[in-house]
Structure 1
Amino acid sequence: MNIYTKITVFVLFLLLTFPPLIAQDTPSIDKRHRIIVTSDFPMFPVTNSDPDDVQSIVRFLLYSNELDVEGLVVSAGTFDMVAEKKNMLAVLDEYDKVDENLRKHDSRYPTANALRAITYEGKGNNNGISIKWGCGKQPVEDIIGEGKSSEASNAIIAAAEKPDARPLWISVWGGPREVAQAIWDVRNTRSKEELKTFLSKLRIYLIACQDASHEWLMSEFPDLFIIESRKTYHGMFRSDDTAWIEKNIINDHGPLCAIYPPKAMAGPGVIEGDTPAFLNLISANRGINNPEDPTQPNWGGEYKRKKGTNHWVDGPGGSTISKWKNDFQAEFKERADWCIE
C-alpha cells in the first residue's frame, strides 16, 4: 500500500468515525425561512392607516433572528393608499436602539443598517398610481402593468431569482400590488417556462382583500401557492388587553416596544391582524407544522385547499389561531424583555 493510498484510507476512517469533528468548521446552510414583508405601513402616531401594522412590525422585528429577511416593502393600503418608505425607516431607527441587546440573546438578529438596505417603496396614490381600497372597485389594469414597476416589485423579482433552493415567503399585510406587478413583469418579459419557475419559488400569504390585484392573483394563477385569509386572521384579535400590552410590551421595554400602539381599528389591545402571515413560519420553527401544508395546526391558522388550485382559503376559522395565544404571547413578552436585558 503506497503512501497516497494510506492517506486516503486514513481520511475515510476519520470521516466515518468522527464526522462532527471534520464538519465543525464547515459553514452550515441557512435553513431559516426566506421572507419579504409587504405592509401598508403608516407613520406613527398613525394618521393614515391601521395601527395594527405598527403592532405587527414590532413583533416581527423581535422574531427577525428566526427568519431570513430579504425585504421590507412599504406598499399602498387602507385609507390614503400611500406608500412611503420613510415610515418603515423610522421604525428601524427605534430597532437600532435595541438590536445590540437582542444580539446578546441571538447573534442572528440583523443590524438596523442591514434592514435599511432591504427596505423598498412601492407605488400608491402618492407616486403616480390611483388605488382604490378593497376588491371589485376598479380594473386591475389601473394599478399594474406597463410602466408601473417599482423598486419594491423589482426587489421581489430579484429575491425570487436568487440561486437559493428555499422558497420565498411573501407576507402581504397591505395591498398585494407590488407582488402582482412583479409577476406581471415576469409574465410579460420571460418565457412560459421561466414564469413557471418564478412562480414555483413564491409562497404568498394574503391578509384580507385590499385591492384589485388580490383578485387578479387568485383568478389568473391557480397553480401559485397562496394562502388567502379573509376572516381567519381575526383569531389574532384581542389576544391580550391594553393593560397586558402596557405592562409587558409598551412600558419600560425600550424604544422599539414603546411605539406599539395600544389599540387599532378593530379595538383596544392586541389586534395584529397581519401577524398570522408570518406566525405560521415561527410555529414551523418549533416543529409544530410544515408551512407547505396550511391545513396543519399552526400559529398562523388552518386553511382548506380550494379544489383544483394551489390556493388555501378560510376553513375552521379564527379559533385555529387564538388557541395558541398562551404560547405566542409568552414568547412575545420574553422577547420584549430581551430589548432591555
Structure 2
Amino acid sequence: MRAILICLFVASAFGGVFSATPEDPPAASNTGHNRLIVLTDIEADPDDTQSLIRLFLYANEIDLEGLVATTSIHQRNRTAPESIHHVIRQYAEVHDTLSRHAPGYPDADTLSALVTTGQPVYGMAGIGEGRDTPGSDLIIAALEADDPRPLWVAAWGGPNTLAQALYTLRATRTPAEVARLTGKLRIYTISDQDDTGAWMRETFPDLFYIVSPGGYGAATWTGISHVVDGLDNTSISNDWLADNIQQGHGPFGAAYPDVAYGMEGDTPTFLNLVRNGLSDPEHPDWGGWGGRYEFYTPELSALDPDGFTGGVPVTEETRPIWTNAIDTLRPWLARPHGRAHGYGEENFTGYRATLWRWRDDIQNDFAARIDWTVSEYADANHPPIARLDHADRLTVHSGDTVALSALGSFDPDGDSLSYQWFHYREAGSFPDRIELWGADNLYARGFAAPEVGTAQTAHFILRVTDKGHPALSRYRRVIVTILPAARPRP
C-alpha cells in the first residue's frame, strides 16, 4: 500500500496532470455569500417554522434579504408575518451565544427589518395591476440593487409574490431591462403550491427555476424526511429530534415544533447555499445538501399528475427546467472491527437519493448548531476544514495515473478525522463508475484515467468527518477533465 501511494504522488507530478497551488474552497461561485429571499406560508404547516429555525442558524453564511409571509394552496386567504417575528424573538435569546462560535450572525433587529408580506389571496388572483405588495416591492428593489451577485428566491409556499414582481417589471421596464434583472434570479420552489409557478415558467422562459412540479410523491425535496426501508432513518425520527434539538438544547431548540405533515420539506431550498465545500449553487446538476437537479423538459407522465398537490393543477411543462435527477446511493457505514468505514451492500436509486446521501450529515450539522446556541466554544463541536494537497480542477489524459489527497485537512477542535473519497458519477459526463485504488477510508487515493474518445468530466468528492459529537462533515470537490490519450498506447 505504501508503494501504491508513493506511485500515486509521483504520478500526480509527472503523469500529465495539470495542477495549481492548493487553495481553500471559495465561499460561493460568486464573491461573498449567496443572497436569499424567502417566501413562506408559515402557519400552513409547522415545517415552515422548523425550516426558519434551521435557516437562522446558518444566517452567518447566507445574506438574507427578505422574509416574506405568503399564501399557498394550503393557506389561501391569509399571511402570517407575526409568526416570523415570533421565531426572530426566540432567535434573539440565543444570538449572543451563537455568535461566539462563528462571526457574521445578524442581530434580531436586522432580521425583523426583513419581514414583510405578500397578498392575502391565493395564486393568480393576486397578480395584476394594482396588486403590488411590500413583498413584491422588496424583490424588485433587491434585483435593482447595485449588487452583481445572483438573487435566490426560495418559495416555501405559493410564489405569487414573486409572480407579481415579475408582472410589474414586465409592465414598467423595457424588455432589455427585464431580461437583465430576471437574469439575476435563481428560483427554488417546493413543488407548485399555487398556480403562478407554471405561469412564470411559461411567461419568462429564461428564468433559472428549480422545481419538482406535479404530485408531491414525485418531488426531490421529500427525500429530506422520507423513510425508506434499508436506510438508517434514525436522524429524521421524532426521538432524534426530541433528543438532539427540542429538549435540553436551550430555548431555540425548544421552539422547534413537532412534525405534523412532514419534517422540514422547505429546508432543501437553502441547503445548497451553505458553504460546506460541496455544492456550487450555479450548478444544480453537481449535487449537494439541497439535492441534485438536471436541466430538461419533464414528461407530464413523470410528474405524478394524479398525486397530491393540494389542488394545484398539473400541466405540461413548456420548456426545460431544473428538476428531478436520478442518483444511485450505496450507504457509507461505520464498522465495528477492522477497516473503520466502508460501503454497505445495498444500493438505493432515485431522485430522493440525491438528498439521502447527505441526510445524516445535514442533521448532525443542525444538532451541532443548536448546541452552539447554549454552549461556549470549547464545549461544542465545530466542523473540520477539508483541504486538498493539489488543485480542485485537474486535466489528464486516458491512461494517466491520478492522485487525490486530503493532506492538510484539520479540525479546529483538535478532533481526529475520518476520510472518504468517492466518484460522484452522476455529477460528471463520464458515464461509468471509476474505481479508486486503496482502502475506502484512506486520506489519499487514486485511479487510472479511463479511455475516452472525447473530453469527459468526472467529479470526485472528498468527505472529511471529525470524531466530535455530533460528528461533522465538510467536503471538497475535484473535477477531473479526461482527454483522449496524448499518444497511442501499446
TM range (shorter): 0.7 to 0.9
Partner of residue 277, structure 1? 269
Partner of residue 324, structure 2? 314
1:324 aligns with 2:319: no
- Summarize the alignment of residues 185-200 of structure 1 with structure 2, pairs less than 5 Å apart: 185-200=168-183
1:237 aligns with 2:237: no
Q: Distance in 1 between matches of 2:209 and 2:33?
A: 20
Equivalent of residue 150 in structure 2, options 167, 170, 174: 167
Secondary structure at the counterpart of residue 49 of structure 2: helix
User: Could you say if the C-alpha distance between residues 50 and 186 of structure 1 is closer, same or farther in structure 2, counting changes exceeding 3 Å?
Assistant: same
Secondary structure at the counterpart of residue 71 of structure 1: strand
User: Could you say if the C-alpha distance between residues 298 and 65 of structure 1 is closer, same or farther in structure 2, counting changes exceeding 3 Å?
Assistant: same
Partner of residue 276, structure 2? 286
Q: Which amino acid aligns with 2:265?
A: G
Deviation at 1:78, TM superposition (A): 4.3
Deviation at 1:170, TM superposition (A): 0.6
Q: Which amino acid aligns with 1:55?
A: Q
1:83 aligns with 2:95: no
Checking the alignment, whether the CA contact within 8 Å between 1:38 and 1:75 is kept in structure 2 is yes
Indicate the percent of aligned positions where both proteins have the same amino acid: 39
Checking the alignment, whether the CA contact within 8 Å between 2:42 and 2:69 is kept in structure 1 is yes
Partner of residue 440, structure 2? none
| Residues 20-67 of structure 1, C-alpha deviations (whole Å, 9 max, x = no match) | xxxxxxxxx96100111111011xxxxxx1111111111111111110
Partner of residue 367, structure 2? 333
Secondary structure at the counterpart of residue 294 of structure 2: strand
1:205 aligns with 2:188: yes
| Residues 124-155 of structure 1, C-alpha deviations (whole Å, 9 max, x = no match) | 1xxxx3x16xxxxxxx3x22011111000000
Q: TM-score, normalised by structure 1?
A: 0.81
- Summarize the alignment of residues 92-107 of structure 1 with structure 2, pairs less than 5 Å apart: 92-107=88-103
Q: Which amino acid aligns with 2:243?
A: K
Deviation at 1:262, TM superposition (A): 2.0
| Residues 197-241 of structure 1, C-alpha deviations (whole Å, 9 max, x = no match) | 110111000101111111111211121100013400010015510
Deviation at 1:94, TM superposition (A): 0.5
Deviation at 1:160, TM superposition (A): 1.0
Equivalent of residue 151 in structure 1, options 134, 154, 164: 134
Q: Distance in 1 between matches of 2:52 and 2:112?
A: 14
Partner of residue 219, structure 1? 202
Checking the alignment, whether the CA contact within 8 Å between 1:149 and 1:182 is kept in structure 2 is yes
- Summarize the alignment of residues 20-35 of structure 1 with structure 2, pairs less than 5 Å apart: 31-35=32-36
Checking the alignment, whether the CA contact within 8 Å between 1:170 and 1:204 is kept in structure 2 is yes
Deviation at 1:84, TM superposition (A): 2.0
Q: Distance in 1 between matches of 2:134 and 2:203?
A: 24
Q: Which amino acid aligns with 1:69?
A: L
Checking the alignment, whether the CA contact within 8 Å between 1:39 and 1:53 is kept in structure 2 is yes
Q: Distance in 2 between matches of 1:96 and 1:252?
A: 18
Q: Which amino acid aligns with 1:85?
A: P
Secondary structure at the counterpart of residue 38 of structure 1: strand
Instruction: Indicate the larger mover: 250-259 or 77-86.
Output: 77-86
Equivalent of residue 57 in structure 1, options 49, 52, 55: 52
1:66 aligns with 2:61: yes
Structure 1, gaps ≥5 residues long: 1-28, 43-48, 133-139
Aligned residues: 288
Secondary structure at the counterpart of residue 67 of structure 2: strand
Q: Distance in 1 between matches of 2:289 and 2:190?
A: 15
Checking the alignment, whether the CA contact within 8 Å between 1:50 and 1:78 is kept in structure 2 is no
Secondary structure at the counterpart of residue 165 of structure 1: coil
Q: Distance in 2 between matches of 1:144 and 1:197?
A: 22
Checking the alignment, whether the CA contact within 8 Å between 2:285 and 2:294 is kept in structure 1 is yes
Checking the alignment, whether the CA contact within 8 Å between 2:41 and 2:75 is kept in structure 1 is no
Q: Which has the higher strand share?
A: 2
Checking the alignment, whether the CA contact within 8 Å between 2:224 and 2:265 is kept in structure 1 is yes
Q: Which has the higher helix share?
A: 1
Secondary structure at the counterpart of residue 264 of structure 1: coil
Checking the alignment, whether the CA contact within 8 Å between 2:31 and 2:149 is kept in structure 1 is no
Q: Distance in 2 between matches of 1:77 and 1:257?
A: 27
User: Could you say if the C-alpha distance between residues 93 and 337 of structure 1 is closer, same or farther in structure 2, counting changes exceeding 3 Å?
Assistant: same
Q: Distance in 2 between matches of 1:333 and 1:325?
A: 12
Query: Which has the higher Rg, Structure 1 or Structure 2?
Result: 2
Q: Distance in 1 between matches of 2:250 and 2:183?
A: 41
Checking the alignment, whether the CA contact within 8 Å between 1:39 and 1:75 is kept in structure 2 is yes
Q: Which amino acid aligns with 1:236?
A: I
RMSD over aligned Cα, in angstroms?
A: 1.6
Checking the alignment, whether the CA contact within 8 Å between 2:81 and 2:115 is kept in structure 1 is yes
Checking the alignment, whether the CA contact within 8 Å between 2:325 and 2:354 is kept in structure 1 is no
Structure 2, gaps ≥5 residues long: 1-29, 214-218, 227-234, 298-317, 327-350, 376-490
Deviation at 1:310, TM superposition (A): 6.0
